[in-house]
Amino acid sequence: MRIIAGEHRGTRIFAPPGRETRPTSDRVRENVFNIVAPWVEEAHVLDLYAGSGAMGLEALSRGATAAVFVESDPGAVRAIERNLDKLRVRGATVLRVEATTALSREAAAGRKYDLVLLDPPYAMTDFAPLGRYLPDVLADDGLLVVETAARVEPELPGLSVRTTRKYGSTRVTVFEHE
């Protein structure tokens, strides 16, 4: 796995051990960032279910100002921290909590993000617990990128689908405020 573009282009990054984490493929990551390119420069990014941190790291490499990585798995948190150290990235925070907990805290604090990246386990199909907070943390002109299994078509109240695309067994759905 590597960073696709930007300041750290071509740099290999660490993935968490085991099979619990499913890293986003280079192809899907490249296509996602082609879609959201205008929102990345100087963005504040929230990377939920961050895994290796590849999505948030890609955003930072492409000019995002700051990124918050949310991951509850200890092995994945260590991989994110190793990647941040390797890339000597500034403006990054790692939160070792469940995604819903992080979202409720960020919403309560009034924090807004220009780009929210959501890559939950593919078995997850109920987005209601997260959907309760996502509109609150998404900046008025921000984008939410949700990666799911291709058969899943996520719905989030208060947000509308800007585009949805399939890449093999993966669906990427981009949401914005209604």
Q: What angle do CA 94, 98, 100 make, to 5 degrees?
A: 110
Q: What is the domain-level CATH number for residue 63?
A: 3.40.50.150
User: Structurally, how many domains does the chain consist of?
Assistant: 1
Domain range for 135 is 26-177
Each residue of 30-65: pLDDT tens digit?
999 999 999 999 999 999 999 999 999 999 999 999
β-pairing verdict for 44-48 and 113-118? parallel
Q: Check whether 147 has a pLDDT greater than 80.
A: yes
Question: Is position 2 within any domain?
Answer: no
Confidence of residue 22 (pLDDT cuts 50, 70, 90): low
For the chain, give the percent of residues with pLDDT over 90.
81
Q: Is 14 helix (H, G, I), strand (E, B) or coil?
A: coil
Does the pLDDT value for residue 18 go beyond 70? no
Q: Is position 7 within any domain?
A: no
Predicted TM-score (pTM) of this structure: 0.94
In a domain, 54, yes or no: yes
Q: Is residue 12 part of a domain?
A: no
| Beta carbons of 86 and 14 less than 8 angstroms apart | yes
At CB < 8 A and 24+ separation, what contacts does 131-134 make? 131/155, 131/156, 131/157, 131/158, 131/159, 132/103, 133/100, 133/103, 133/104, 133/106, 133/107, 134/103, 134/158, 134/159, 134/175
Q: What is the pLDDT of residues 56-95, one digit of tens each?
A: 999 999 999 999 999 999 999 999 999 999 999 888 999 9
**Separation of alpha carbons 147 and 102, rounded Å:** 18
In a domain, 34, yes or no: yes
Closest CA to 118 of 136, 100, 105: 100
Domain assignment present for 165: yes
20 is a domain residue? no
Q: Is residue 163 part of a domain?
A: yes
